[in-house]
Amino acid sequence: MVVCVCNAIRESDVRSCARGGCTTPCQAFRSLGRQPKCGQCTSVARAIINEERAAA
């Protein structure tokens, strides 16, 4: 699933960032070398990060 259309970031990318220690969508974007643009994806990215952190 595509999480961020503006930056072509997939769910798997966000999950990988969360497993790598990112705790916020902004950290995940930075670790991928991108910046949030419109911000519509941050709530979805945050939910994915929270899922991964809860599973760890």
**CATH code (residue 46):** 1.10.10.1100
Placement of tokens 């991928």 in the chain: 32
pLDDT in tens, 35-51: 889 999 999 999 999 99
Is pTM beyond 0.85? Reply is yes
Question: CA-CA distance, 4 to 14, in Å (whole number)?
Answer: 10
Count of domains in the chain? 1
* pLDDT score of 21 more than 90: yes
Which pLDDT score is estimated for 56? 76
Which pLDDT score is estimated for 24? 96
Q: What is the mean pLDDT of the chain?
A: 95
Domain coverage including residue 8: 1-53
